[in-house]
Amino acid sequence: MSTTSENQAVAASVSAPTSFDVKTTFPVSEIPPNPLGEGKYIKTAAALIIGDEILNGKTMDKNSHFFAKYCFEHGIDLRRIEVIPDEEDDMRRRVEASRRMVQQYDFVITSGGIGPTHDDITYESLAKAFNQRLVHHQETLRRMMEMSKHRSWVASQSEEQKAARERMALLPEHAEVIYTAEDMWVPVVRLAGKLCVFPGIPTLFQKMVTGLTPYLPLPPTEERPFRQQVFTSLPESSIAPYLTSLHKRVRDEGVRIGSYPLLFKGVFVSLIGRPEARVRELAAEVEKEVQGRLVSEEEVKEAKQLKDKL
């Protein structure tokens, strides 16, 4: 997938026109049965990011960051992120990675490679990975045409250009097709009940991941980890022995301890685990031992933004 080509082709026709007298909307999909089985929920996740522009530094990978935050906020343990090129020669790697990830994790996403050009082969790769044919999905085609019919460039497209646009509705034959927004024709395609396909454009990716939330068997609130952070002005080397000892003491409880220096300012100490009461208890101990103070997520975010500006 080239982000440029995907921007031009997908973003140009993905959502409803802004004209005051034209508004196209579609019904969203019904909530399906739990794909993991009754009573089960997502515990682990992985992401497969596709695009040369990520690997060569042309484009910043915002999607991985958004997905990591999404997973944490919903109590999912994001275990792995892989980035691979989008050339045809790398189809084998996509096939291998998608099969492996579905076997190892409960929730897998791909980002990128679903545009109209020759190197947008994510759907083709996944069809091969799960032994399915590629077929035009008629409802997706219908929504695409309906959403685009008021755009001036549609009527002037050649047959070759039309065929390229319709490639975006060539989906694995037995895939689950989920429409998550009334004002978009692009669906989330899910395979094996676990692997969900998203576009690489960050605005679309974020909207579609968020829209998929009701369709996911997410962990119950009481199973989600809690994070508390402590800031200290002491240098990291001064608190390292204590944090090492604390880590050994609580690792069997599943509590994770991390330290993140803020250059010339101090260190943020992060505690993640459950139940919340236990994490708060440990955070109070850390606060005392490192001569620090409890800080909110918003304070940490602001400090990081200031650090980036500097």
pLDDT tens by residue, 189-226: 999 999 999 999 999 999 999 999 999 999 998 889 99
Question: Please, where are the H alpha helices in 184-260?
Answer: 202-212, 236-250
Specify the CATH architecture of the domain 225-309.
2-Layer Sandwich (3.30)
pLDDT the model gives residue 4: 47
pLDDT the model gives residue 11: 54
- Alpha-carbon gap, residue 77 to 96, rounded angstroms: 22
- Tell me the pLDDT tens digit for each residue of 139-193: 999 999 998 888 888 888 888 998 989 999 999 999 999 999 999 999 999 999 9
Q: Which residues of 67-85 are buried (b: 16+ CB within 10 A; e: fewer)?
A: beebbeebbbebeebbbbb
Question: pTM value?
Answer: 0.84
Omega of the bond leading into 275 within 30 degrees of 0 (cis):
yes
Residue 264 has pLDDT above 90, yes or no: no
Residue 5 has pLDDT above 70, yes or no: no
Q: Which CATH superfamily does the domain covering 3-215 fall into?
A: MoaB/Mog-like domain (3.40.980.10)
Q: Which residue has the tokens 């909110």?
A: 296
Q: How many helices (H) and strands (E) does the chain have?
A: 11, 12
Structure confidence at residue 68 as a pLDDT band (50, 70, 90) = very high
Structural domain boundaries in the chain: 3-215, 225-309
Q: In what order do the strands lie in the sheet with 44-50?
A: 77-84, 44-50, 107-111, 195-198, 188-191, 176-178
- Alpha-carbon gap, residue 297 to 227, rounded angstroms: 9
pLDDT the model gives residue 19: 42
pLDDT the model gives residue 22: 55
- Tell me the pLDDT tens digit for each residue of 73-103: 999 999 999 998 877 667 888 899 999 999 9
Structure confidence at residue 250 as a pLDDT band (50, 70, 90) = very high
